[in-house]
């Protein structure tokens, strides 16, 4: 192929792709309208429509003066053209659907979650470089546990995801007690729980790892200062443990005589961390303002269990068992 024919072929390809984009934008176009938008004759439009049909796109031609064209459903799914904003919006939506898996394989995302992740991978492969970076900023900087999160401002999510990807400092206002303070942090990962989004970051003012709720952040911005990544904990596990136990004044560990998958189906991912201990037992870590309530929740799971920590909770479990036994004896 000489240079002239190669340039002509590229011109035809670009024109056919432009035609496909027009057909995806509107339900029905007349032949003259398409010819005018593409700067070609109606005969060339008809030839380009045949090229699209050969590629698997079901382009239907209407009858009447000037004709009409519309893109209909087909037996197979051909490639879809998205502009920049549509591609980013699609990515954000796919991320929401991809977060169904739980830590260590638990959770309830199932096939929909897997399909969303596959779609994200395909987007990353076919999008132009400028958009692939945006997709990776979201998909590569997000971890999940639980399922069913409410929506978060995509602009905030995108800003934080880019900061994670580019390894640059992030600044944001965040409530601390009765006041709001400006925070400086090295963002590591965005984590989606079954209730909300969190950011795992190294707090530069407190010199330690911290978990921040994204819905509480305001005035979020990415700085220009790059940082050298630190050795970080597993993002999803760290945030889940923090949400389920570290934020509470009291924590407790139990050995439950049931498979981890069974117990995960009974306890919200935000309420407890469930770790397998063999095929038929698991460790449950949870916290609360009152450990008696935590003890009751574990009791109501309906499985035999042992108190691991704190030791004094074992005595309270025995006292509770005695009260329950006494209550049953009066019948």
For helices 3-25 and 42-54, give the axis angle rounded to 10 degrees.
Answer: 80
Question: Angle at the Cα of 305 (from 300 to 310), degrees rounded to 5?
Answer: 100
Over the stretch 87-129, which tens digit does the pLDDT of each residue have?
A: 777 776 676 555 443 333 333 344 454 555 566 656 665 667 7
Helix, coil or strand: residue 99: coil
Distances in Å between the Cα of 125 and the Cα atoms of 87, 121, 129, 322 are: 13, 6, 9, 63
Question: What stretch of H or E contains 125?
Answer: helix 110-126
**Overall average pLDDT of the 161-178 stretch:** 89
Q: Is 273 exposed, middle or buried (0-12, 13-18, 19+ CB in 10 A)?
A: buried
Measured CA to CA, the distance from residue 28 to residue 307 in angstroms comes to 68
Q: Which range has the worst mean pLDDT, 81-95, 205-219, 267-281?
A: 81-95
Structure confidence at residue 109 (pLDDT): 41
Tell me how many degrees the CA angle 93-97-99 measures, rounded to the nearest 5: 120
Determine if the pTM surpasses 0.75. Answer: no
For 277-294, what is each residue's pLDDT tens digit?
999 999 998 888 888 888
CA distance 113 to 10: 38
Predicted confidence band of residue 215 (pLDDT cuts 50, 70, 90): confident
């Amino acid at each position: 192929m000489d240079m002239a024919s190669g340039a002509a072929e590229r011109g035809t390809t670009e024109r056919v792709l432009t035609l496909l984009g027009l057909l995806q934008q509107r339900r029905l176009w007349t032949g003259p309208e398409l010819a005018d938008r593409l700067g070609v004759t109606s005969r060339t439009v008809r030839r380009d429509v045949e090229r699209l049909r050969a590629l698997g796109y079901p382009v239907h031609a209407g009858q009447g003066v000037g004709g009409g064209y519309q893109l209909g459903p087909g037996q197979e799914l051909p490639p879809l053209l998205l502009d920049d904003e549509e591609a980013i919006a699609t990515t954000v939506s796919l991320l929401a659907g991809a977060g169904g898996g739980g830590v260590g394989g638990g959770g309830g995302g199932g096939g929909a979650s897997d399909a969303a992740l596959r779609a994200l991978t395909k987007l990353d492969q076919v999008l132009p470089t400028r958009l692939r970076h945006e997709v990776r900023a979201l998909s590569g900087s997000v971890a999940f546990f639980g399922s069913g999160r409410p929506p978060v401002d995509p602009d905030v999510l995108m800003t934080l995801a880019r900061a994670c990807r580019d390894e640059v400092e992030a600044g944001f206002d965040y409530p601390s007690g009765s006041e709001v303070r400006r925070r400086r942090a090295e963002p590591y990962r965005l984590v989606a729980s079954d209730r909300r989004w969190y950011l795992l970051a190294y707090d530069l003012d407190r010199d330690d790892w911290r978990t921040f709720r994204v819905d509480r952040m305001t005035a979020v911005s990415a700085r220009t200062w790059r940082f050298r990544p630190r050795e970080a904990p597993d993002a999803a596990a760290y945030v889940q443990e923090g949400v389920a136990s570290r934020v509470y004044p009291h924590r407790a560990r139990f050995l439950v005589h049931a498979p981890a998958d069974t117990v995960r189906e009974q306890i919200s991912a935000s309420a407890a961390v469930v770790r397998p201990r063999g095929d038929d037992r698991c460790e449950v870590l949870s916290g609360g303002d009152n450990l008696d309530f935590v003890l009751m929740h574990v009791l109501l799971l309906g499985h035999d269990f042992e108190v691991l920590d704190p030791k004094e909770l074992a005595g309270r479990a025995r006292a509770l068992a005695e009260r329950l036994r006494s209550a049953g004896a009066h019948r």
